[in-house]
Amino acid sequence: MELLGLYHYWIFAVLLMIGFYAVIAKPNLIKKLIGLSIFQSAVFLLYITMGKVDGGTAPIFQAGVGDQVFSNPLPQVLILTAIVVGISTTALGLGIVVRIKEEYGSIEEHEIQEIDRQ
Taking CB under 8 A as the criterion, which residues in 29-48 touch another protein?
29-31, 33-35, 37-38, 41, 44-45, 48
- What minimum distance in Å lies between the beta carbon of 96 and another protein? 7
Counting residues that bind another protein (by CB under 8 A) gives 87
Gap between the terminal Cα atoms of the chain:
59
| Residue (of 95, 102, 90, 96) closest to 34 by Cα position | 90
Question: Can residue 113 be called a binding residue for another protein (CB under 8 A)?
Answer: no
| Residue (of 86, 111, 90, 88) closest to 100 by Cα position | 111
Question: Can residue 115 be called a binding residue for another protein (CB under 8 A)?
Answer: no
Cβ contact 28:108 at 8 Å: yes
- What minimum distance in Å lies between the beta carbon of 100 and another protein? 8
**Choice from 92, 113, 114, 115 touching another protein (CB under 8 A):** 92
Alpha carbon distance 59, 37 (integer Å): 27
Question: Can residue 67 be called a binding residue for another protein (CB under 8 A)?
Answer: no
